[in-house]
Each structure stands twice: as C-alpha cells, then as structure tokens.
A and B are shown apart, each in its own frame.
Chain A
Amino acid sequence: MKLRLVALLGTLCVSPLASSHDRWILPSHFNVSAESQETVWITSDVSASNQVFMMDKPVTASDVRISLPSGDSISPSSSYTGGRKSVFDVQLTQDGTYKFEKEVTPRYFSRYKVKGKEGFVRSRLDKKATAAIMPKDAYELEGSLNVSRVETYVTRNKPTDKVLAAKGEFLELVPVTHPVDIVENEPATLQFVYDGKPVAGVSVAIIKDDSVYRNKPEEMELTSDKDGKVAMTLPTAGRYLLHASIERPSSDKILADKTVSEIFLTFEAGLE
C-alpha cells in the first residue's frame, strides 16, 4: 500500500504515527470447529507495518474489545506487548461469530507553518487548542479529526450476524457476504456506511498476505458504489488486509476542517 500511503501523507493533517503504517489484528484462526462443551483458544497479533502481516511496530492490544455472538462485549483474557507486536488471547466459549476490534477513539490532529521554517509543525490537539499554543506568526493552520477502526471476525461453528451490524458512527464496514463465506473465485460483497447510512466513494484497497515476497504489491483498488457496496472476487485463498478510507468536510471548522475515517479489516478467503 506504499503508493497510497505516500499520497495520503501528502494530504492535509494525517497523523504521522497513525497513517504511515497499515495496522491489523491477525487472529490465529478465522474459523474453528469445536464440540459443544469445548473451549477454543484464539491468539491474535496486533501490529503495524508497510508490509502486510510483517510485524514491525507494536500496537497495543490492551484496548481490544471482543464482541461475542450473544452481543455482550469482553476484554481479552490476557495480552502482551513486545518489541514488534502485541498479542492477545481469547477463549471462544459460544458458537457463532465474534468481532475483535481495537477501541475506536476519534483523535484530533493539527498542523501549521512557521515563518522561516520548512515543513509543518504538527500537534495532537484540535485546531482551537493548537491556535492557542502556536507562535503568533504561525500560518496555514489546518486540522482533522481521525477515526480508525482495526477489526476482524472469528467464527466458531455456525456463523451468526449480530456482531456484523453497524453501530451508526463514522465509517463502518458491514459484511454482506459473511466473512466465513468469503471464498476464492466466488463473488463477495461488502457494504460501507457512514453514520449508519450507505456511503458512496469510499476508497478500498485489498492486499494479500506476503507482499514482502512479491515484486509487485498486487493490490486490488475499489470504490464503494451508490449503495455503499463493493463487490470483489479474490483469485486465491489466503489472508488479506483491507483498508478503507473516506474524508468528509467538518460541519463547523472550529475544531477540524475535516474528518478522516478509516478501517483496517483482516479476513481470509477460503479454499473453494
């Protein structure tokens, strides 16, 4: 996703930390079979890098939430942060589909220029707060509100739909084809909603695992249609990282000029 990231960095007010790498939750299994009384461990890596699923930067797992098939939500039973990745464990005790996601916290980022200095000075505050602390001769103040989702789905036995529903805030991905039914060479559909309503024009990039072993990234680029939908047919089974993003101008420009909302979804395409 290098090209796209370079392009993003060239645009206004993207957090240097948040946007310079792809982030993901990569579970040990997306799909497990188990007897009714059995509990199944899933271990997951949380990391960020420019190569898909190559661990580089540790991203904390302490804020990961697990939505259970029943609709309840829990924290991982344990987690660890290492030098290049974090790890968390979850025991699946219910049949159905679980959603693992990092806590979604909207964050403000601002930047401005100072006379005689090259480039931008960046701040992790909203525009108003930044204006209060920046030097008097600063100019070109810009601000954005960034909302990132990092998520994946894991299913034990029969899949369920409860955790797939949108919550109605910012950009969200609603699987139309259930994640466990994404299979190589078969069409699959995803839908994007913004504040709960279908949204057109979401930029979607899908890249397969192991880009480090390919000369070309072989990224699939798509845009959501008027119903917010994206149709894809993946040519080979494997693990994929999807990145979706959309920018919206802010309703008032006091705290930020725009909202940048993005999603990182890890999923697998199964064998036929």
Chain B
Amino acid sequence: MRHLIRIIAVSALFASSAVLAAPKLTVDLTLPEITEGQYHRPYVAVWVEDAKGKPVKTLSLWVWDEGHKWLKDIRRWWRKAGREDMSFVDGIASATRPAGHYKIDWDLKDESGKSVTLGTYTVFIEVVREHGGRDLVRQNIDLTAGDFAAQLPATTETGVIDIRLSGMAH
C-alpha cells in the first residue's frame, strides 16, 4: 500500500511536470575568476533579439549603481535596447555580481509580458569590465524546433555558457 502510494505520488509528479512545465530558455552563465590586473566586477547584459535584430526582452542587466555614465559601454545592448528609455533601464538594472555561476531564465515573453511568436531568436550575453575586456557571445534559438541544448565555449570575460530550451511542445 505504501509502495503504491509512492508510485502514484511519483507518477503524479512526473505527469504534472510534463503538463505544467512552462516553456523556458535557461542561460547558465559563469563569470570567471580573473586574477590578472585590476579587477572590477563586470557589467553584464543578457537579452534576446528577434530575427531582425529588434530587442525582445532584456533578461539581466548588472551594472554599478553609479549613474548611467558607463551604460553605453555595454555597446550592443545600449544600442539595441538600453538607450531607448531610461526609466526602463532603472527598472531592470541591478548591482554587479562577483565571479560565480548564475542561472538566468527567459519565459519566452517580451517586455510587455506577451508570449513571443514561434520563430528564430538570438540570445546575447555581453560582458564588459572596466580596465578589462569585453566579450559579446550569442546563440540562435529556433522556437519551432523543440527542446534543445547548446554550449558556448569560454571567452576571456565569460566561462562556458550552457543554454537550454525546455518545455516546448513537440
């Protein structure tokens, strides 16, 4: 009896995760330890553009809380999304993070909270460090092709990045 309950409970758990898991994109981002030279925590922007290069959603913006002077140095993010609206920037900005591992999710919704149409998108990760370098990495995502996983090799300013699309209908 106890065994049976466990089976039911486990299968219920499986069933609910299969049914209820909302589709999402997960970016596993690592900011590497950098010991050479002066170290300042990097500015980081993670965002999604559509196939035409239009910004869809900024997922993360980690910047110093010292005004907006350096925002323009997150070059592509600033050009595509940041410069449009300063109150939007104030709303999404948070403090810079130390070296470490971070998980960033995208619920496949745009800035207005509307689910995006199925199609091709690109997720961008731009990391800029004062007295350090800048790296811009990207991954194309096809929302019509079901779940997938990709790994982006490490750069100077980013560790290995895992990107997973999950919960997509087949």
Contacts and interface: CB of A to CB of B under 8 A. Distances in A.
30 contacts: A31-B72, A33-B69, A33-B70, A33-B71, A33-B72, A33-B78, A33-B82, A33-B83, A34-B67, A34-B68, A34-B69, A35-B68, A36-B86, A38-B67, A95-B86, A157-B83, A157-B86, A158-B83, A158-B84, A158-B85, A180-B79, A180-B83, A181-B79, A183-B79, A270-B79, A271-B76, A271-B134, A272-B75, A272-B76, A272-B136
Contact of B75 (A32, A95, A159, A270): A270
A35 B67 contact: yes
Interface string A11-39: 00000000000000000000111111010
B170 to A, nearest CB: 35
Interface size class of A (residues with CB under 8 A): 10 to 19
Interface of B: 67-72, 75-76, 78-79, 82-86, 134, 136
Contacts of B68: 33-35, 38
Nearest to A183: B79
Contacts of B79: 180-181, 183, 270
A177 B75 CA distance: 17
Contacts of B78: 33
Interface string A159-177: 1000000000000000000
A232 to B, nearest CB: 18
A35 B136 contact: no
Nearest to A95: B86
A180 B78 CA distance: 11
Contacts of A270: 75, 79
